[in-house]
Structure 1
Amino acid sequence: MSIERDLEGWTIAFDLDGTLVDSAPDLIGTLNRMLAQYELPPVPMSSARHLVGHGAMALLRHGFMEAGAAWDEAHAPGLFERFIEDYLAHIADESTVFDGVVPALERLAARGAILCVATNKRTDLSVALIEALDLTKHFAFIAGPDAVSARKPSGTHIHEAVQKAGGDPARCVMVGDSTTDTKAAKDAGVPCIVVGFGYNDVPRSELGGDVVIDHYDGFEAALAEVMP
């Protein structure tokens, strides 16, 4: 039985870390290797997981703060570059695609949707992670903040990612795990589906999305709910 291509003309834009991929283990692993260079104690996953979506700088500051030491480039010159180099070398050692993601992406494509990624993770790192996890074939475009003119929470990030994927920003749904994503969706004037298992310490009732899912099994029902 053929699948109706009822999503022709629609684009689904996904955040990456905490939405498609559980990347916290490798990012925090890199953070702890950086701390070890300065004989500082490692940070537990539980204390840093919510910072994953905020980038390497936030992770480094948190790690040094936990150890009672302030971090800036003057204190540890070159550390940010070493962080990125180490992370690239270990980008998918323990990172995994969230359960149900691949079947959901395959089903959306079969229904005619264009799929893209709109993430605040640097594009080269995003592409490397997506390639390492064999997800590249699912996406028409991968847009880190350096591939567009503004980063989330600006809605421009979503609009330009969708356009570069060959889609229409007026017919788009955003999928994310944080207030950065929901604010960007609101700014872009598009619906937002929130995954409730991502990297955020804000109560789910305060995330601001249109609907929250706890597993990708419920994605298509949520999509039907938010689409006009």
Structure 2
Amino acid sequence: MDKTSSFFDLVGFDMDGTLLDTSGDLAAAVNHALASAGRPTLTVDQVTPMIGGGARHMLAQGMAATGGCTDAELDVLHRRLLDYYEANMVVLTQPYPGALDALDALAARGVTLAVVTNKLEHYAKRILEELDLTARFACLIGGDTLGPGRGKPKPDPIIEMIARCGGGRPAFVGDSIYDVKAAQAARVPVVACSFGFLDRPVGELGADATIDGYAELIPVLERLAAI
């Protein structure tokens, strides 16, 4: 089906807390690193607000919550976290309810789909492959794809997403302040997911719209596209 002329040409998605509920596997990796350092472990609910800025940032917050650490200690524990996560990436991870139906509905409209995440690109690629989602997306941009210091909240990944997907009118869907700030800096309308890994109330993210579930995504995008 041809894309409706008034709709978006391209919709990009964050991964963790937006497309996929990765909280269980990420919390397990954080807790593996914490336990190896003799620290108390954290609940999934405690870890989820720490997700979004990359693995090292997530672990640093976990260490801060359990007593702090030096940069040297964080270096060692970061490697332990990554080693564990590499072996246990898709134990509990799965798409959010209704996410695949929303992707199908967008694809049926002729919309190009993309993923822009702060997760390392090869990790994100492997997860999409193991969940059989790779073919749905025209491009994948990870936190390290463009080099150090160029992940979200910088606009660079969103701008690169648009370029790689051939241009057109874009929108972005995410769950964190990193997503909202990146999209805004790239001058792209952004939808925030209230079910994601929030570190503050969703209304405080400053997104153009919010959704409480994927059944709301298409109507919300239609409204934003008409503005």
Query: TM-score of the superposition, structure 1-length normalised?
Result: 0.90
CA RMSD in angstroms comes to: 1.9
On the 8 A contact 1:145/1:151 being kept in 2, the answer is yes
- The correspondence of residues 17-166 of structure 1 with structure 2, limited to 5 A, is 17-68=16-67, 70-75=68-73, 78-148=76-146, 150-164=150-164, 166=165
3-state SS, counterpart of residue 94 of structure 1: coil
Shift in Å, 1:73? 4.4
Q: Which amino acid counterpart does residue 62 of structure 2 have in structure 1?
A: G
Q: Which amino acid counterpart does residue 53 of structure 2 have in structure 1?
A: H
1:181 matched residue in structure 2: 179
Shift in Å, 1:194? 1.1
Distance 1:9 1:177, change over 3 A: closer
On the 8 A contact 1:34/1:83 being kept in 2, the answer is yes
1:206 matched residue in structure 2: 204
On the 8 A contact 2:146/2:157 being kept in 1, the answer is yes
On the 8 A contact 1:57/1:80 being kept in 2, the answer is yes
Q: Which amino acid counterpart does residue 79 of structure 1 have in structure 2?
A: L
CA deviations 1:129-160 (Å, max 9, x no partner) are 21122211110110013223622122221010
Q: Which amino acid counterpart does residue 62 of structure 1 have in structure 2?
A: Q
| Cα distance in structure 1, aligned partners of 2:177 and 2:30 | 24
Structure 2, unpaired ranges of 5+: none
User: Aligned pair count?
Assistant: 223
| Cα distance in structure 1, aligned partners of 2:75 and 2:108 | 49
| Cα distance in structure 2, aligned partners of 1:44 and 1:9 | 38
Shift in Å, 1:217? 0.7
2:4 matched residue in structure 1: 6
Distance 1:9 1:223, change over 3 A: closer
Q: Which amino acid counterpart does residue 24 of structure 2 have in structure 1?
A: P
Distance 1:63 1:90, change over 3 A: same
3-state SS, counterpart of residue 54 of structure 1: coil
On the 8 A contact 1:122/1:146 being kept in 2, the answer is yes
Shift in Å, 1:9? 7.3
| Cα distance in structure 2, aligned partners of 1:71 and 1:227 | 46
Structure 1, unpaired ranges of 5+: none
